[in-house]
Structure 1
């Protein structure tokens, strides 16, 4: 259930968030000083190559980390309250699937194969809201209709649904408790192009009709542009650029952003896509200074130092010394 708050204040504020995985070879800095802000009725897309820390960020926000994860540091403020400071039980009762829900990457893995889909969609209401089975199933039917699935499929098992329908069912499960924020972790990566477009249209309609905020985690630039109000680009555990969707897709500020956009095929483009050379650095032993410097064609002496965050304009942040003349944030 949404909490009454100042509509002009951020819904979620992430400040200096850090998290390491413990491994036999040493700690892995999966989330390394992330600062982000998500407003109400806003879709923030978190872009980046595999291994950059996107999914780890989602796991920190939902507190669904594996056993080898260290305790996160920093703050995650939901309507001004630091939810990282809550006990696990309070977080489970007051935040997870109540105010923040998750749509996982592989829908088949997110669903129990021996339980009917309708029962699984209704389950969050029974656990977190204490609803009766009848009331929860009625709400699950409404959620099915919202995401474009006939209510007849409530009685089906996951294997009886197509990949696209399973993804819609998982989306219905996330929406059934009416959360303020839904985190989508690569929700369309296993789907064909037409089904991807259909799912994105559902998300846009829900955002418009319900005012739900979304964090879409993906490496797919084309798909992300369909939903994004803002874009945060991660590289080696850090956010290297955050901007409005219009600014990011038309005039990106970081060299990595520019090279990423140049690598995307376009329908009306004479020049062929240009791949990004090299590979991301190890999060176990990240380089000093700018982490993109080794792959950057515009690197210079100052890149040996850890870049400050600069503001080319309001709500546009770039972690790159090339913007030093514009002033720091």
Structure 2
């Protein structure tokens, strides 16, 4: 895994469960992951796998129906879970960790100029004057590729791609160490998606910012990823170097996911993942992917730990237990 000296974020046994009328939904259920400094971690998974809930847990943007919120989150050596809400809001949230939420570009206030909206975190969290904040807005707009002329425009005067860049500028305005992006390109056309990903790569290279990119788009995410964490039913089932994940997936779910991605000059149609994800209110005992897994064997009735492979990859699958009888 990422060397401890270079590690920015360390998450261990993070849990976020919700109360519902049917019971408790285990949206994030014992997640472990690491993000290095100047590193992009892509979190992949089907809809309902817990990706957005993971982001909310890290940002402490919790709904009222939380049944359980626990675990360990270390940011640059500081333990976050033990911080009271006021200290977290003033020192971490939107300062050291910022987030671009899903469909955030549609959440811009239509009657407030975009420059004022981007400046707001500096004025609210840092107490900056309006003049100083607006000067920083112009600098940040340059970083994300937006002309200073757009500072005085309203959101409806901007294209979808420009609005997304403005929202990204809002996340970057406080110069956070880590930016979480939840499906940042899902509502954009292919060319605009590529443009936004190029902006993110440049920011990572020039500013040294770390990213967690949450998406279900394998092809787009591969452009930015240094590492990949694959979520399934509230758990991370594989975390590895991006090159290894995309070319040599280790978990059966990872293999099926990669087989489902269309490729140029592919002679056969893409594969598919049979069945449906389990109900997070009543997940199956043992491996949660077992009912859909073509490699299922007897040991899968037990919940697998995350096996460490070559010190760089963790895979939550009994197939990677040394000495396992796969015919059991």
TM-score normalised to structure 1 length: 0.96
Alpha-carbon distance in 1 for matches of 2:323, 2:56: 34
Distance in 2 (alpha carbons) for counterparts of 1:108 and 1:246: 31
Tell me what 1:166 maps to: 163
Unaligned runs of 5+ in 1: 1-5
Which of 38-47 and 266-275 deviates more? 266-275
Counterpart check, 1:145 vs 2:153 = no
Secondary structure class of the residue paired with 2:201: helix
Q: CA deviation at 1:71?
A: 4.2
Residues 18 and 27 in structure 2, CA contact (< 8 A), matched pair in contact too: yes
Q: CA deviation at 1:307?
A: 0.8
Q: Does 1:272 align with 2:269?
A: yes
Write the distance in 1 (CA, Å) between the matches of 2:266 and 2:147: 41
Deviates more, 1:230-239 or 1:102-111: 102-111
Q: Which residue of 1 aligns with 2:58?
A: 61
CA contact (8 A) 2:105 2:167 kept: no
Relative to structure 1, the CA distance from residue 11 to residue 295 in structure 2 (aligned partners, 3 Å threshold; closer, same or farther) is same
Give, in angstroms, the shift of residue 7 of structure 1: 8.4
- The answer as to 2:12 corresponding to 1:15 is yes
- Alpha-carbon deviation of 1:8? 2.2
Q: How many residues align?
A: 322
Q: 2-side partners of 1:265 and 1:122: how far apart?
A: 41
Contact 1:200 1:227 in 2 (8 A): yes
Alignment RMSD: 1.3
* Cα distance per residue 1:162-204 (max 9 Å; x no partner): 1111100000000111000000000000000000000000000
Q: 294, 305, 308: which one pairs with 1:308?
A: 305
Work out which of the residue numbers 36, 39, 42 in structure 1 matches 2:39: 42
**In the aligned structure 2, how far is the partner of 1:99 from the partner of 1:71?**
24
2:234 matched to 1:217? Answer: no
Residue number among 128, 135, 140 corresponding to 2:132 in the alignment? 135
Rounded Cα–Cα distance in structure 1 between residues aligned with 2:323 and 2:11? 24
CA shift at 1:51, angstroms?
0.3
Deviations 1:219-262 (A, max 9, x none): 00001100000000000000000000000000010000000000
1:108 is displaced (CA, Å) by 3.4
Q: Kindly state the Cα deviation for residue 323 of structure 1 after the two structures are TM-superposed.
A: 0.6
Distance 2:45 2:323 in 1: 25
Alpha-carbon offset, residue 82 of structure 1: 1.5
2:99 to 97, 102, 106: 102
CA contact (8 A) 1:104 1:110 kept: no
1:203 alignment counterpart: 200
Offset at 1:326? 7.5
Q: Distance in 1 between matches of 2:242 and 2:280?
A: 27
Runs of 4+ in structure 1 over 3 Å off: none
- Mean CA deviation greater in 152-161 or 178-187: 152-161
Question: In the alignment, which residue of structure 2 is the partner of 1:317?
Answer: 314
Secondary structure of the 1:215 match is: strand
- The counterpart of 1:111, out of the listed 108, 111, 115, is 108
Query: How many angstroms apart in 1 are the aligned matches of 2:264 and 2:323?
Result: 34
- Deviation digits for residues 237-292 of structure 1 (CA, Å, limit 9, x no counterpart): 00000000000000010000000000000113212101111000000000000000
Give the Cα–Cα distance (whole angstroms) in 1 for the partners of residues 106 and 71 of structure 2. 31
Partner of 1:259: 256
Q: Distance in 2 between matches of 1:9 and 1:118?
A: 34
Gaps of 5+ in 2: none
- 1:122 and 1:171 map into 2 onto residues whose CA distance is 12
**Which residue of 2 is the match for residue 123 of structure 1?**
120
Question: 1:33 — aligned with what?
Answer: 30
- What is the aligned partner in structure 2 of residue 247 from structure 1? 244
Matched residue of 2:67: which SS? coil
CA distance in 2, matches of 1:7, 1:282: 36
1:287 to 281, 284, 287: 284
Instruction: State the match for 1:3 in structure 2.
Output: none
- The aligned residue for residue 185 of structure 2 is 188
